[in-house]
């Protein structure tokens, strides 16, 4: 019955805040990712994801004061996304068929990524928290706003990007999605 | 409200089920919508929840009947009550949570308190404010007239003269039993997904009732994505099955179980398929060989707004929200007795395919929105739509399936859906 | 517009003040709302500003009368003019600022110019465009029919047949004088706060008229926060006082001055309390001992939409904004003669308690919004609300307070508010 | 729909062209708006595109006729077809792109396919679904009744009884030819700009038809910014010219070519002016000396919603979007034969002055929005606006200009615009 | 009659732009603060505030060209917030009673903090300017957007956070608040 | 027929990501610029612009899958802005007349500038990409949101600011502008 939000993921107490160069490097990585999404370079985006990624957006509920702990779905309950890399790759493959009508014409998205905070964990992994506001334009006069936070776990990579996203939790500030669909990425 | 009807309705009604036409006004006209709230949602049975959402005494789920907010609450005796989520004093919502546990419902404005069945049990400062003269039995929350638990689905109606539930399902009951009379019963994965589609609710309901025809066109991109990259994209096979219809309900069952199983393997995974196959002998014991082994349900809608994709294990309510919008409330439906890993796999696959981010779902929602977008000017709004697909057979020529049926890829059930809708719309009163 | 009324209104009217019921349609029905704009806001006196907002000649404040925008402007002779903020040429708003100083109002479209009283004084390029034929005296901005300055509050009405202002206040004047006939007069803290509540304006007006009953329930959390942490949360004391009502106005005065002062100390601080107490002898000189020392006003509303919390020194207009929304315009009211530090303390405390971020205010606004949220479907919309709290006494049994009164925690004034509202709604024409 | 008219309309009609008054209801009333969609936009000729937007076979541009979405498509024979952007099966929009190239239009819902002229050419799975019984010739997309190419502007109408296009232009054709019958023809700069102004579409249309009067007031700031900083701000010169009007059309031509050229130099640059001057001999060959050299068009509107500023080379459609909003669709119009650098300069200057960010344009849009903002309450909404500017002459006293004309700074053409609008509104049926 | 906005607070001309480490440290502090607010960890948030804080949000007005200087309320005029730490603590205490119905269920907020600019003043205090867009979700379909800027004065601290907020001016881009209430923090 | 967006400007392949100090310096420059715009200090803002600036906002379209390359107007087609410094100066001069009625009262803008990425080009110039969300309040209840990205080319300066903006491309996420006008700067 605490007033404080019970987050749907475990907050690690090990680790320490990133130093400035690491913070900058992670933030730039997140900005590169956002730019790929907004440019619809989805195949390249997949390369930023670890093969073992869990890409998870639990549903959210209005609760009574006594049941605030139930604000977020548990991991085995309803979720807006609960994707493996295989699922994500299939979403991308679908878009690239040019016959995914729900994204014809493609959404005009803009990922504003802000409030980036980075921690280096004891095991060498990196935790990045950020806020987002995603603007999505469709047709001529359809506007949608998605607000939320992301909790990412990154691991080092020797590919074209310095990191890979090993886990992403997307916390929407919506209990009901005010959009025809969640046909875009966050 | 009866007076305005004649003027509002085109001479031949909005629907000509014989000719197979639909007047576009039913999708955009605010007056039609307001009447529909009274005459369709106010008169018929409506699904408000699955019983697994409120397992224990005091559990509640706040739902909707048309646009009216209702509380669905498990009572101490195990029964379920459904009542309007509105205080009778000055009308504040009694409960603001989406779901949870309660002992009573206390209004946040002046503290009047209602029990789990919606009875008014306390008027604040009763003796001080001369509240004793208020007959509490007359000022309880407005309760539904009837409630029915159909294999775990909770239905309610405001209409005391509503037909018995089995009569409401009519001939379609034989088919819906096939979906819901599962051995050991069903449950939904915890929680609920809600999203808003900018289209009239009937576009969702109609499609689940009667429209397998759209699949190869609407979902072509997703189907391609699911196929091996080197597989040639041929014309997909025609579904071999029957489309049932009665009293506005409709759906399709197929006898091509092999094809259906292949589709299950693709959409839900091999493990879920294997599990489902393992349940068929038990199904057959209860429902016979045809409904146990020899046929599989494909899609269906219980009039007016409960959609079902049995293979994809999704259950959803098309909640009206003004003429041009609906809320979709979606759940993953699983056998209560299924092992945890099967439930988990079903949860993941159903969410991936038919839910807010579902790769199939998205295409449907956007098509409906595109219908709505053309309904702004007088030419688009006065359109008459073609609803003539299918032969309109009445009986299964092979004599296998009972009731009124047509071949699977027909719009006969859509004609039935709209004809039943119009019948309710033209009947006066409750 | 009279024609449609019979159909729109339930057989017994929306309001049955005798039975104590309210038809929910008055809160959501767009047709009721449109009629209300004409018959309530178009006919009655309306507060448009406090004179301290426009102290000097040329000062203006852009206000509202119902949904109509008006300019309230101080004239060179010290009087105040009120006129529609709309150019008579092609209708552009004449003034876009919230307040300020002007010599004239020049339209930004074609430059027609009006003086501080709304008279058309210049037609652009008059001789070139043959404008001389236009009779400027007939094309001034639309002016209100009457204006009245009631102890600094500026009232106006479009209705030439409106009753004299004192008759409009009726028996309630005795009580309102207690709030506004302060020694040395009153003023408002500079500026104005505006915010939008998603609820019908009458929910605010009704509560300030008649609802002390909600306090212990709606504001329980805030009350707890104000108490010392170790103080046990008992049942709060019942307010000992009388609720007055007349012609839609209403409010409460208490004789329990000690309790009232304790509440002032908590909500406004000891210094404000001490200052207020120091003014009572002066008040008594003008208004007598009862209104000076022995009683204190608690809450009130001047029909239709001026709310007052004398203890909390807030003054506010419930501005209609469609059936489901209102704007709240709020000010802090202080004695003109109060020392600067008392004004400053009042400003801080009033803003903290009853304003856009006010810790009490918030709870009210959200409750009203919750009432509105349940008014979407036919069951919720056809609800009849209970308005039966209180004995409905007419006279103070102790013979202390004049006029028609009930005990403090009654809904008698709410019944009066709605009965008066209905009387205006059913009378045709102006 | 005829039945409701008498009630809806004020006794004397909304427009009294003789007295020069306008009932404000025409700008805000949803019932007037709905009727207008049928009786104005459903009956008259409407501009849907410039032919240069669809140069090659298969090119399409998705446009609007009133609020109805239409496809404008170049056929293989070079002709142009215009049809409703709505599938006849279940109503999805056939084309979602703003413009482009197509071979056919295939519906994304069930795959029905239409050719470039809107004819239904394929019903999906026709043989499987018993589609053969559907007469494809009866289920093509809804086509306009007539199409006319007026010097590159594509006009269409739903009305089979619409007058011949030249009769539709009437006396005003002489003036419009001056704008569009350019040597070598015209084209628009690629693409289109769209934005939404929160004001009724008629405010835009009326101004381009008849309102040079506003310029010195609305655009004073921009005019000042264009002037050398040290130039004194005198009263701008009165435009020496004639305002033509017929059948709702209107506009102004000036004989003060020197002044007009100075304005062109300022707004469009010296190079554009020089180019334009160089074309006058050619113009004179076709249209005579008056229209070639001795006069210049200033502003105009083809009824109902095609606005033109010839000097500023902007062409725009005022697309209705509910009573309180319009979309403005704007293009830069250039001579097809103009050298690239002239086209480029015109593009830059027109965009800078009259487009979404245009320094003149902005002031107009905000004024119209200010008109709309005052139309919320019953007093503002029942206003009668003054439309009396100008002498209302019929003939050019100098005998130079043909047809019905008044001096330039008149509202006679506005009176004509609204009178014609009312004539259409009061005529029943198509 | 200048076109430029007359700010409601005095802009100090002393001081100089922060160096990169200080800027980073202040920005991270503001992000931590935003995270506490969005997680409803209000008791912890109070620890970030100096005991002498003035937390002030003056009201804003549309004005004529000649009176642009009156765009913002003066310090002794109407304000949406004008809180001492005691007031803020009482707001928090109210929420923690679990009976503050206006926040039942609690708003789903997201503080996007951007455009962070930092100056070190001559007296050792720090000035931080930032922009914000706060998304607030309530019930299932109620969305509100608050836009504005903040002008903060920070002082050093040896508590768990390196700074305390000694003054906050909140400049809303709204003349009328388009929300039922201002029941959240900025 | 690629799914990826074809940008309306040439993406230089020369150059390399800025180091941290340069990135910070550019970001602070962009924040200073945003602050000038939101404070309506337009005359000062003009000083940040190179005399040869092209300030360009091409229009955007919904396109068929086969014609995605036509999403953005070409440089010789319709544009929402296509301004030289002279044009921009005239816009500012207009506002400063105090008679530009479309901005009376002035819009209440807030430029949220996020996702700043910086590259140093071979020729010494600097490329800065950023996302923006501009909130614009007008009258009492009119709210507009402009979403998009900016692609800037900066050159060094020895004036009061370390850079001048030599080129700005504004990519709106709108095909139709949902506002009465574009009377503000981006
Ligand atoms: S509204 Fe529920 S107790 Fe008054
Ligand atoms: S609208 Fe005011 S002068 Fe024309
Ligand atoms: S809606 Fe177009 S084919 Fe069915
Ligand atoms: Fe589908
Ligand atoms: Fe209250
Ligand atoms: Fe103009």
How distant is the Cα of F102 from the closest Cα of chain D, in angstroms?
A: 5
CA gyration radius, chain B: 22
Of C97, C194, C196, the CB nearest to F105: C97
Mean pLDDT across chain D:
95
**Residues making up chain D, counted from first to last:** 430
How distant is the Cα of F100 from the closest Cα of chain C, in angstroms?
A: 10
Residue A114 and residue E113: Cβ atoms within 8 Å? yes
Q: Is A114 on the interface with B (CB under 8 A)?
A: no
φ, ψ for residue C333, nearest 5 deg? -105, 130
Helix (H, G, I), strand (E, B) or coil at B25: helix
Q: Count of alpha carbons within 13 Å of A66, Cβ hemisphere only? A: 5
**Per-residue confidence band for D5, with pLDDT thresholds at 50, 70 and 90:** low
Residue C218 and residue B108: Cβ atoms within 8 Å? yes
Alpha-carbon gap, residue B14 to B307, rounded angstroms: 23
Mean pLDDT across chain B:
95
Residue C297 has pLDDT above 60, yes or no: yes
Residue B93 and residue C238: Cβ atoms within 8 Å? no
Q: Is A92 on the interface with E (CB under 8 A)?
A: no
**Residues making up chain C, counted from first to last:** 430
Residue B30 lies in a domain: no
Q: What is the pLDDT of residues C354-383, one digit of tens each?
A: 999 999 999 999 999 999 999 999 999 999
> C267: domain CATH number?
3.90.380.10
Dihedral angle, C-alpha C259, C265, C266, C267, nearest 10 °: 100
Residue A64 and residue B97: Cβ atoms within 8 Å? yes
How distant is the Cα of E147 from the closest Cα of chain A, in angstroms?
A: 13
Which residue segment(s) compose the domain that B86 sits in? 46-150
Alpha-carbon gap, residue A60 to A173, rounded angstroms: 8
Please tell me the residue having the least CA distance from ligand 2 atom 1: C90
Same domain, D237 and D352: yes
Question: Tokens 């802000």 appear where?
Answer: A114
Q: Is C198 on the interface with E (CB under 8 A)?
A: yes
How distant is the Cα of C98 from the closest Cα of chain F, in angstroms?
A: 9
Mutate: best of A98, A141, A147, partner F, most F CBs <10 A: A98
Q: What percent of chain B has pLDDT over 90?
A: 92
Q: B59 and B72 in contact (C-beta within 8 Å)?
A: no
Q: E154 and E179 in contact (C-beta within 8 Å)?
A: no
Q: E94 and C225 in contact (C-beta within 8 Å)?
A: yes
Q: What is the pLDDT of residues C104-120, one digit of tens each?
A: 999 999 999 999 999 99
Residue of F nearest to C97 (CA): F105
- Nearest residue to C85 (alpha-carbon basis) of C45, C160, C140: C140
How much is the pLDDT for C4? 53
Residue A180 and residue B198: Cβ atoms within 8 Å? yes
Residue B125 and residue C390: Cβ atoms within 8 Å? no
Cβ(B139) – ligand 1 distance below 6 Å: no
Mutate: best of F31, F68, F114, partner A, most A CBs <10 A: F114
How much is the pLDDT for D236? 76
Helix (H, G, I), strand (E, B) or coil at B56: coil
- Two tokens at E32? 């931590």
The rounded average pLDDT for each run of 10 residues, N- to C-terminus, in chain E (186 residues) is: 90 88 98 98 98 98 97 98 98 97 97 98 94 98 98 95 98 98 98
Residue D65 has pLDDT above 60, yes or no: yes
Residue E180 and residue C198: Cβ atoms within 8 Å? yes
Residue E117 and residue F28: Cβ atoms within 8 Å? yes
Where does a domain end: C116, C150, C184? C150
**Per-residue confidence band for B4, with pLDDT thresholds at 50, 70 and 90:** low
Question: Tokens 């009405």 appear where?
Answer: C157
- Two tokens at A158? 């020797």
**Per-residue confidence band for A13, with pLDDT thresholds at 50, 70 and 90:** confident
Same domain, B268 and B397: yes
Q: What percent of chain C has pLDDT over 90?
A: 92
How do C296-302 and C306-309 pair as beta strands?
antiparallel
Same domain, D235 and D128: no
φ, ψ for residue D82, nearest 5 deg? -135, 125
CA gyration radius, chain C: 22
- Two tokens at B267? 């959409």
Q: Is the ipTM beyond the 0.90 threshold?
A: yes
Same domain, D146 and D279: no
Distances in whole angstroms, Cα of residue A31 to Cα of each of A70, A111, E29, F10: 32, 9, 21, 20
How much is the pLDDT for E54? 98
Q: What is the pLDDT of residues C34-73, one digit of tens each?
A: 999 999 999 999 999 999 999 999 999 999 999 999 999 9
Residue D30 lies in a domain: no
Residue C196 and residue F141: Cβ atoms within 8 Å? yes
The rounded average pLDDT for each run of 10 residues, N- to C-terminus, in chain F (186 residues) is: 90 88 98 98 98 98 97 98 98 97 97 98 94 98 98 95 98 98 98
Which uninterrupted H or E stretch holds D27? helix D25-28
Alpha-carbon gap, residue B4 to F79, rounded angstroms: 50
- Two tokens at C61? 């404040």
How much is the pLDDT for D237? 79
Same domain, B79 and B181: no
Residue of F nearest to D198 (CA): F180
Q: D172 and D403 in contact (C-beta within 8 Å)?
A: yes
Q: How far is the CA of A96 from the centre of ligand 5 (A)?
A: 57
Same domain, D183 and D320: yes
Of A67, A178, A183, the CB nearest to B362: A183
- Two tokens at C228? 């010392």
Helix (H, G, I), strand (E, B) or coil at A151: strand
For E164, residues 6+ apart whose C-beta sits below 8 A from its C-beta are: E48, E49, E50, E154, E155, E156, E157
Q: Count of alpha carbons within 13 Å of B63, Cβ hemisphere only? A: 30
How much is the pLDDT for A138? 97
Q: Count of alpha carbons within 13 Å of F153, Cβ hemisphere only? A: 19
Same domain, C287 and C203: yes
Residue B24 lies in a domain: no
Q: What is the pLDDT of residues A14-29, one digit of tens each?
A: 789 999 999 999 999 9
Mean pLDDT across chain A:
96
Alpha-carbon gap, residue B351 to B367, rounded angstroms: 20
The CB density around residue F159, as the number of other CB atoms within 10 Å, is 10
Q: How far is the CA of B64 from the centre of ligand 1 (A)?
A: 21
Residue C164 lies in a domain: no
Number of the ligand 2 atom closest to the C-alpha atom of C111: 3
How much is the pLDDT for D2? 40
Same domain, D180 and D255: yes
How much is the pLDDT for B6? 56
**Per-residue confidence band for A12, with pLDDT thresholds at 50, 70 and 90:** confident
Residue B51 lies in a domain: yes
- Two tokens at A60? 């959210």
Q: Is A74 on the interface with F (CB under 8 A)?
A: no
Q: D382 and D376 in contact (C-beta within 8 Å)?
A: no
Q: What share of chain A is helix, strand, coil (3-state, %, to 5)?
A: 25, 40, 40
Helix (H, G, I), strand (E, B) or coil at C268: helix
Residue of C nearest to B64 (CA): C377
Residue D278 has pLDDT above 60, yes or no: yes
Same domain, D260 and D326: yes
Which residues are registered as beta bridge partners of F165? F49, F154
Alpha-carbon gap, residue B291 to B175, rounded angstroms: 8
Mean of pLDDT values over D10-30: 93
- Nearest residue to D372 (alpha-carbon basis) of C42, C67, F106: C67
Q: C314 and C346 in contact (C-beta within 8 Å)?
A: no
Helix (H, G, I), strand (E, B) or coil at B243: strand
Please tell me the residue having the least CA distance from ligand 1 atom 1: B90
Mean of pLDDT values over B193-221: 97
> C127: domain CATH number?
2.102.10.10
Q: How far is the CA of C414 from the centre of ligand 1 (A)?
A: 14
Which uninterrupted H or E stretch holds B61? strand B59-65
How much is the pLDDT for B1? 36
Q: What percent of chain D has pLDDT over 70?
A: 98
- Two tokens at B178? 């096939």
Please measure the distance between the N-terminal and C-terminal CA atoms of chain F and give it in whole angstroms: 31
How do C113-114 and B405-407 pair as beta strands?
unpaired
Same domain, D362 and D279: yes
Q: What is the DSSP letter of A19?
A: P
Which residues are registered as beta bridge partners of A82? A56
How much is the pLDDT for B8? 72
Domain tally, chain B? 2
Alpha-carbon gap, residue A159 to A166, rounded angstroms: 14
Flag the least confident range among B56-60, D66-70, D127-131.
D127-131
How much is the pLDDT for D161? 97
- Two tokens at E29? 């502090």
Which residues are registered as beta bridge partners of A161? none
Of C68, C88, C109, the CB nearest to D377: C68
Mean of pLDDT values over C257-273: 96
- Nearest residue to F116 (alpha-carbon basis) of F131, F102, F105: F131
Alpha-carbon gap, residue B225 to B358, rounded angstroms: 13
Q: Is B319 on the interface with C (CB under 8 A)?
A: no
Mean pLDDT across chain C:
95
Q: Is A31 on the interface with B (CB under 8 A)?
A: no
Question: Tokens 């102006």 appear where?
Answer: C430
Residue B350 lies in a domain: yes
- Two tokens at C104? 């004239």
Question: Tokens 């939790």 appear where?
Answer: A169
Q: What is the pLDDT of residues D138-193, one digit of tens each?
A: 999 999 999 999 999 999 999 999 999 999 999 999 999 999 999 999 999 999 99
**Per-residue confidence band for D235, with pLDDT thresholds at 50, 70 and 90:** confident
Number of the ligand 1 atom closest to the C-alpha atom of B124: 3
Higher pLDDT, C427 or A176: A176
Cβ(B93) – ligand 1 distance below 6 Å: no
Same domain, B287 and B341: yes
Mean of pLDDT values over B260-279: 97
Q: Which residues of E touch F21 (CB under 8 A)?
A: 20
Alpha-carbon gap, residue B417 to B249, rounded angstroms: 6
Cβ(B110) – ligand 1 distance below 6 Å: yes
Q: Which residues of E touch A62 (CB under 8 A)?
A: 105, 139-140
Number of the ligand 3 atom closest to the C-alpha atom of D94: 2
Alpha-carbon gap, residue D188 to D302, rounded angstroms: 17
Residue D34 lies in a domain: no
Q: Is C227 on the interface with E (CB under 8 A)?
A: no
For F170, residues 6+ apart whose C-beta sits below 8 A from its C-beta are: F55, F56, F57, F80, F81, F148, F149, F150, F186
Which residues are registered as beta bridge partners of C405? C244
Pocket of ligand 3 (CB under 6 A): D 87, 89-92, 107, 109-112
- Nearest residue to F137 (alpha-carbon basis) of E149, C330, A111, E65: E149
Same domain, B117 and B226: no
Alpha-carbon gap, residue C295 to C298, rounded angstroms: 10
Q: How far is the CA of B91 from the centre of ligand 1 (A)?
A: 6
Residue D9 lies in a domain: no
């Amino acid at each position: 019955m605490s007033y404080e939000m019970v987050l749907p993921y475990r907050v690690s107490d090990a680790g320490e805040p990133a130093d400035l160069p690491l913070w900058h490097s992670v933030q730039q990585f997140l900005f590169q990712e956002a730019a790929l999404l907004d440019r619809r370079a989805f195949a390249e985006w997949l390369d930023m994801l670890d093969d073992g990624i869990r890409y998870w957006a639990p549903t959210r509920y209005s609760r009574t004061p006594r049941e605030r702990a139930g604000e977020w779905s548990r991991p085995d309950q309803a979720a807006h996304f609960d994707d493996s890399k295989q699922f994500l790759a299939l979403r991308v493959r679908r878009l690239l068929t040019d016959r995914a009508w729900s994204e014809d014409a493609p959404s005009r998205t803009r990922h504003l990524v802000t409030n980036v905070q980075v921690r280096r964990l004891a095991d060498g992994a990196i935790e990045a928290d950020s806020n987002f506001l995603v603007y999505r334009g469709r047709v001529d006069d359809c506007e949608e706003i998605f607000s939320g936070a992301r909790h990412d776990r990154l691991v080092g990579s020797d590919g074209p990007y310095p990191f890979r996203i090993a886990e992403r939790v997307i916390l929407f500030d919506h209990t009901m999605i005010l959009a025809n669909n969640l046909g875009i990425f966050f | 409200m009866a007076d305005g009807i004649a003027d509002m309705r085109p001479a031949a009604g909005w629907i000509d089920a014989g000719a197979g036409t639909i007047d576009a006004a039913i999708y955009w006209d605010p007056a039609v919508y307001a009447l529909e709230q009274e005459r369709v949602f106010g008169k018929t049975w409506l699904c408000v929840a699955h019983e697994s959402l409120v397992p224990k005494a005091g559990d509640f789920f706040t739902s909707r009947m048309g646009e009216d907010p209702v509380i669905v609450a498990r009572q101490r005796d195990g029964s379920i009550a459904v009542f309007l989520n509105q205080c009778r004093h000055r009308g504040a919502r009694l409960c603001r949570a989406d779901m949870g546990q309660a002992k009573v419902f206390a209004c946040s404005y002046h503290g009047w308190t209602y029990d789990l069945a919606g009875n008014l049990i306390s008027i604040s400062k009763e003796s001080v404010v001369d509240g004793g003269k208020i007959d509490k039995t007359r000022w309880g929350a407005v309760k539904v007239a009837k409630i029915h638990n159909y294999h775990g689905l909770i239905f309610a109606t405001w209409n005391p003269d509503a037909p018995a539930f089995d009569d409401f399902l009519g001939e379609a009951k034989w088919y819906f039993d096939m979906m819901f009379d599962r051995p050991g019963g069903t449950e939904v994965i915890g929680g609920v997904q809600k999203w808003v589609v900018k289209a009239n609710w009937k576009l969702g309901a109609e499609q689940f009732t009667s429209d397998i025809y759209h699949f190869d066109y609407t979902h072509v991109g997703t189907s391609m994505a699911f196929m091996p990259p080197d597989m040639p994209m041929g014309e997909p096979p025609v579904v071999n099955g029957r489309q049932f219809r009665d009293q506005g309900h409709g759906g399709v069952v197929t006898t091509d179980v092999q094809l259906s199983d292949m589709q299950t393997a693709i959409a839900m995974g091999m493990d879920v398929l294997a599990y489902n196959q393992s349940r068929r002998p038990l199904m057959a014991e209860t429902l016979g060989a045809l409904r146990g082994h020899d046929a599989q349900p494909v899609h269906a809608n219980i009039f007016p707004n409960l959609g079902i994709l049995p293979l994809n294990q999704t259950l959803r309510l098309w909640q009206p929200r003004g003429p041009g919008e609906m809320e979709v409330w979606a759940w993953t439906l699983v056998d209560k007795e299924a092992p945890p890993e099967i439930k988990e796999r079903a949860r993941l696959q159903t969410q991936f395919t038919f839910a807010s981010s579902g790769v199939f779902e998205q295409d449907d929602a956007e098509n409906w929105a595109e219908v709505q977008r053309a309904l702004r000017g007088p030419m688009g709004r006065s359109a008459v739509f073609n609803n003539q697909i299918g032969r309109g057979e009445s009986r299964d020529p092979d004599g296998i399936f009972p009731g009124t049926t047509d071949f699977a890829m027909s719009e006969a059930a859509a004609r039935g859906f709209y004809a039943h809708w119009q019948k309710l719309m033209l009947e006066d009163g409750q």
